[in-house]
Every structure is written in C-alpha cells, then in structure tokens.
Structure 1
C-alpha cells in the first residue's frame, strides 16, 4: 500500500519550524509496511495545495496531510480537501460539544468567532477526536476507495492522534496483520551493520529488515505480513534470533520504546549497582539522559560537572601532576575522574567524560572530537579513547551514547564472568 505525506504551512517553507511531523509519519508508516515514495511541503495557498493533493491522489492509495486545520483564515487544508473531493463542509455536533466543553469557564470575550470554524467537517467523513487540542482529525474516502487523512499540525496533537486512532485505521485497510520487532544496536556503525546483514537483506521476502541510523545507534525493524499477530511472531522469530547471534552484546534491547539510558538503568537495578558521573565536555548531558528515566533515583547517586581543572581537583581528587603531565583531555585524567566520582559519592559504578567538543580547542595531537571515557566498576577502572566527527552538539551526543554503552557492556562482561 502506498502512502504520500503532505505537510501544510508556509512556516515550514520559510524554515521557521522544523518539520518533525514528516519524519515521524514516515517512520511509523514504514513500520506498518506502507511504501512512501513522495513527501511534499506546501504553503498556505489554496491553488498550490489543491494541485499537490490532486497529484498525490493520482499516484498514492493513502494521503496524509498535516497542518492547516486551525481557526484562522490561512488554515485551508479542510476547505481545499473538500473542494478536491467535491464534498460540502457540514457542522459536526460532537465536535461543537467538545469545543463548548473546552471553552467552558472562559471569558466569552476571549473566544473569537473563528474558533467555531473547527466544528465544520468534510461531508461523509470519519471525525477523529483531538484529545490534546481543538481541531479534530478527519478521514475521508474518495470515490475510488482511496483514503485522505487530515491531522493537526502541532506534534503534541498529531502524534497521539496518529498513534491512538490512525494506526488502527491503517491496519484495518489491509486484510492482513503487520507484525514488527525492533532490534536496537549500539557500538557498531551503520555501514558495518549493513555489511553484516547484507546476505539477509538480499534474500529477504517476508519478513523484511529495515535499518534506521540514529545518533550513535542503528535500529533494525523486522516486519512480517501475516494472517494473525501470532503468525507474525513466528515468522519474525528466526530472523531476530539470527540478528542476536550476529550482533550479540551490541544489541541493547528488542523493545520498541526502550532507550539506551532505560536499558542501562534497568541493568544497574538488576545487579544492585549505584552510579555516579563525572563530566567535562558533556557538561551534564550524560546525567540528564539518566535522570530522564523514571526510577533512575534508585540507582543514580550523584553527578559532577567538572569543566575546569580546578573543579576536577577539588571534587574528584584528580592529581595536579596528572593534569600538568597529560592534560585534562587524557586517558589518565578520565581514569582519575571515574575513580574520584565513585569515591566521592560512595557509588559502586562511575562514568567519566573528558574531551574536545569543538569547534575550537583542537591541536594536531589532540584534535576536535577526541574524547576519553572512564568506567569504574567492581573496584577496577577502564578507559577508552574515541574520535567523533560532527559539530559540537554531535560530539557531545555521541559521547553520551558511547559512555552509556561502555557502562552497559562492562556490567554484562563483569557479571557474566562471575556467573
């Protein structure tokens, strides 16, 4: 089944906002086994939007439009779609009731007349309730059975509406079930991952493997087309087993919504470990990722942001001689930072980060992107040297992911040896 995405809004064309909706929808539609060949952004212009929608309907079975459903004059998506489909706009009593409830208790002077424009829907369409805003979503069928889906533009409204209401609808368009599993890999680059599974991709039919490159990670989605979900599980199981065999410890989860920081927090809790962090170039990004996880307070003791040499000596007991001889960005300093953090917080594990995030500060011997990460566990400290590419933010992000994966694999190797 083919799907086409149309993002509506002049602000997208001007670069005033980043179009995250298209990225989200493309990934979700791919997970549903849908083929997406075209994505279009168009401004708030009736003629151009009409032309784009007609073109999309001529070549795709499902067209999803985001944006342009609000109360203002330049919100034209619903009106243009109705004209293209040769339908009227009619008032929807349920939407009107929901809107009245939304405005209940507010001063009537603050409720402008144009808000009621949102109660108008395309004739004979399916109205999708918006539980996070005022503009409902709409699903209209063309005379030849194609689906036109209209969703609000704000991601805070669009994302939950899509996941709660549109996903079940799209699944129902096919007589079969699409079952997928996600294999998340860290510590191996995209090109190497692809090389390691090239034979599997070349010979695939059902299920299929779709790789997605993330910052410092590679995700492999295994999707099967089956009559039932149970059959889908049976079809994907051998492929997932083979991926586990090939990538081993580099796989940190096979659960869709689990992040690497969640996997690490779970692992710390499983082995009764507590953690502290000592950060220089990452400036709190590492501890921030950890405390994003619900339940992190059970394992995360303390975070030190020691950007200056003085702070490294004061809070982590890094030797002044070490800093003078080897420098702040060094294997030796990372090691002392990790040990110092563990000792200062009395934690059983510690991670340290020191490096040159750029764009200034690099030298021939210590270029931008050079990062040392230290990991203290079970009374031992190991350090690793990394060389990351990209801007300052990218270097910091790759550093954090690598540190989390370093700790994860160290925990596994340490306790596997003891078992």
Structure 2
C-alpha cells in the first residue's frame, strides 16, 4: 500500500520551520506496512492545495495531511479536501465542547473563528485532539484513505498514535503484512566503502531489503522485511545481520539506532572504567557527545579544552620545547597528542585518556593544512596510541568527523 504525506503551511516553504512530521510519519507508516512513496509540501493556498490532493490521489492509496486545521482563514486543509471530495463541512459537537471548555476554563473570550477547529468533513471519523483544540478527521472514498492531522508535532504525534494508526489498521490494512526493520550502525567507514563491501547483497536483495543512510561521521543501514509476525521477521533479519556483521566487524557497533557514544558509555560503566579528555580543535565536542548520554557520570571524570599553547603547557604539562621553537613539532603533532592523552589520564586518574589536536580551519595553523588532526588514546596499562587523520570539508565537518573517529577508535579498544 502506497502513501503520500502532504504537509500544509507556507512557513514550511519559507524555511521558517523544519518538517519533522514527515520523518515521524514515514517511520511510523513503514512500521505498519505502508510505504511512503512521496512527500509534498504546499502553502496555504486553496487552488494549490487542491492540485496537490488531486495529484496525490492518482499515485497513492493513503493520503496523510499535517497542518492547516487551526482557527485562522489560511487554515484550509479541511476546506480543500471537502471541496475536492464534494462533501460538506460541519461542526462536531464533542470537538466544539472541548474548544468552548478551553476558553471558559481560562476566562478568555472565544472569537468566532475558533469554531473552525471543530469542523469535520461529512461522513468522516473525528480524531479527538488530546493535546490541542483542532480535531482531526479520517475518511474513505473510492478505495482511497484520507487522514488529516494537526501541524504542531506535540499534537500530531499523539493523535496519530492514539487515533489515526488504529483507524488505518482497521480500515486500510486488512490484508497488508507489517514491515519489521533493524537499524545497523557503523563508524569509521564512509557510505561508499560500506556499500562496496555489501554490493553483492544489495544487488541480490529482494527480501529483506538493505538501505544505507549516511550523516557526518557515521553510517546507518536499515534492513527490512514484511512478515506475519515479529518472530518470523527476526529469523530473516538476524540471518542478514550476521552476514553484514561478519564482513564489517570493526565498524558495526550496534544493531539498534543509537550513537557510538552511547555504546561507549554503557560498556565503560558496566566494566567500571573511567575516562578523561583533552581537546583542542574540537573545542569540547567529544566531551559533549559523552556527557549527552544518561549515565555518563559513572565513567566520565572530566576534561580540559586546551586551545592555547599556554593552557596546554600550564594545565596539561606539555613541554614548552614541543610547542614552540625552531625545532618544535608544534601543537598539531603526534608528540603533543601523545602527551595530552597521557597527562589528562594521569590528572583525572582515569583508566583512559583521549586527546585531540589539529587544524579545523578555515586557515592554516603552524604552516599545517586544514584537516590535519592527531588523536590519541592513553591507557592506565598499555602503550599510548596516536592516529594521524586527514579530513576535507569545512570547520564544522572536520570537528564532527574528528570526534566520531576518535570515539570509534576508543570503541574498538573496548571490544577487543
């Protein structure tokens, strides 16, 4: 069964807000066996909205609308859909009671335009709004299924989960098998190289399917299958996952949609291991990644953002001769990365010490090129390891890739 999501609102076209609703709905629809083929964004204009409905009806079985059902004159979604279907709009009494009670409870005069939030389309099923005022609607015509939801995510999400999804399961999905998916997470490898390692599987795919997605510093592979039950689906998904993991053991760090820092925090906390971090060019990004994970207080002792040479020397005991002078390797060097990791580990009395020093740009530093970075991992027992990295891209890209690469190296140390 094919679906199209139609997001209504000029503010979306102007870039004033991000369409997070489409992401949520695409994920939720896939989970119940509805494939989203198209996503459309249309402004608050009656003729353009009707055109979008007409086009979507030709190519989709399920049309989901978000936005355009508020109290103002430019909230036109129900009006446009009703006109397209040749149906009347009328006030739903229960929805109107909710609107009236809202204003009475707050002692606020209700303007007449607020009655629009209680409008439903003739022959539709009202979808009560548990967190707002605008009622949604669901209806069927000529084997097409229409669902109208509010725009604000805090209203749209609960209405979909509590009202629209059960309606779709009852009316649209009587013969469809649900889709089951796993999200496999990878670090330390780019999307193109990962795809090359899996190319034969991708070319041969039918069921389960394989879909890679990339963002800075990590890659996700979604494997999906349709099945009558979760148990049946897991037999197929687990077989494919095992084959992928066998090919990329040093890069696949999870089979759930979690960041690599979550895996590191959990592993170190479970083993009673601790961490200290010294960062120069990343400016605390590695520490922020770690401390964004609940439970990181059990394993992260602290760190230092050491941009200047003076701070490297004063707080982390980096010898002046390594930082400055005609024969000095300089702050961006293998030698300084090593000392930073070892010193922060000793100062924090932690099991591991991480360090970063490099040139994030936009200009050269110490006559060294943008994208040259050194990261190091020191251990309470064992040799300190230093890695030279070279990245392209802008300042933010280099910082993110550096942080993710360092965390990937730490994760590999923890699982070996």
* Both proteins in one fold, TM over 0.5: yes
Rate the CA distance shift 1:168–1:374 in 2: closer, same or farther, 3 A.
Answer: farther
Q: Gaps (5+ residues) in structure 1? A: 414-419
Do residues 212 (structure 1) and 210 (structure 2) align? Answer: no
Count of matched residue pairs: 409
Normalising by structure 2, we get a TM-score of 0.89
Q: Are the counterparts in 2 of residues 176 and 227 from structure 1 also a CA contact under 8 Å?
A: yes
Q: Are the counterparts in 2 of residues 137 and 150 from structure 1 also a CA contact under 8 Å?
A: yes
Structure-2 residue corresponding to 1:243: 244
Rate the CA distance shift 1:289–1:12 in 2: closer, same or farther, 3 A.
Answer: same
* Structure 1: distance between partners of 2:86 and 2:399: 53
Q: What is the DSSP-based 3-state SS (H/G/I as helix, E as strand, rest coil) of the residue aligned with 1:248?
A: coil
Structure-2 residue corresponding to 1:417: none
Structure-2 residue corresponding to 1:81: 81
Rate the CA distance shift 1:55–1:406 in 2: closer, same or farther, 3 A.
Answer: same
Rate the CA distance shift 1:396–1:52 in 2: closer, same or farther, 3 A.
Answer: same
1:327-360 Cα shifts (integer Å, max 9, x gaps)? 2222222222212221222111122222222223
Rate the CA distance shift 1:224–1:308 in 2: closer, same or farther, 3 A.
Answer: same
CA positional deviation for 1:378 = 3.3
Rate the CA distance shift 1:180–1:402 in 2: closer, same or farther, 3 A.
Answer: same
Structure-2 residue corresponding to 1:342: 345
* Structure 2: distance between partners of 1:280 and 1:155: 38
Structure-1 residue corresponding to 2:138: 139
Rate the CA distance shift 1:127–1:308 in 2: closer, same or farther, 3 A.
Answer: farther
> Which structure has the bigger radius of gyration?
2
Structure-1 residue corresponding to 2:409: 406
Q: Are the counterparts in 2 of residues 284 and 305 from structure 1 also a CA contact under 8 Å?
A: yes
Q: Are the counterparts in 2 of residues 206 and 224 from structure 1 also a CA contact under 8 Å?
A: yes
* Structure 1: distance between partners of 2:104 and 2:269: 46
1:174-205 Cα shifts (integer Å, max 9, x gaps)? 53132111111111110111111111111122
* Structure 1: distance between partners of 2:281 and 2:149: 41
Q: What is the DSSP-based 3-state SS (H/G/I as helix, E as strand, rest coil) of the residue aligned with 2:413?
A: helix
1:364-416 Cα shifts (integer Å, max 9, x gaps)? x6222222222222333212122223222222222222222121111112xxx
Normalising by structure 1, we get a TM-score of 0.89
CA positional deviation for 1:7 = 2.2
Structure-1 residue corresponding to 2:369: 367
Q: Gaps (5+ residues) in structure 2? A: none
* Structure 2: distance between partners of 1:132 and 1:360: 50
Aligned with residue 152 of structure 2, among 151, 154, 157: 154
Q: Are the counterparts in 2 of residues 31 and 223 from structure 1 also a CA contact under 8 Å?
A: no
Q: Are the counterparts in 2 of residues 315 and 344 from structure 1 also a CA contact under 8 Å?
A: no
CA positional deviation for 1:250 = 1.2
Structure-2 residue corresponding to 1:53: 53
Structure-2 residue corresponding to 1:378: 380
Structure-2 residue corresponding to 1:16: 16
CA positional deviation for 1:12 = 2.3
CA positional deviation for 1:100 = 5.2
Rate the CA distance shift 1:102–1:402 in 2: closer, same or farther, 3 A.
Answer: farther
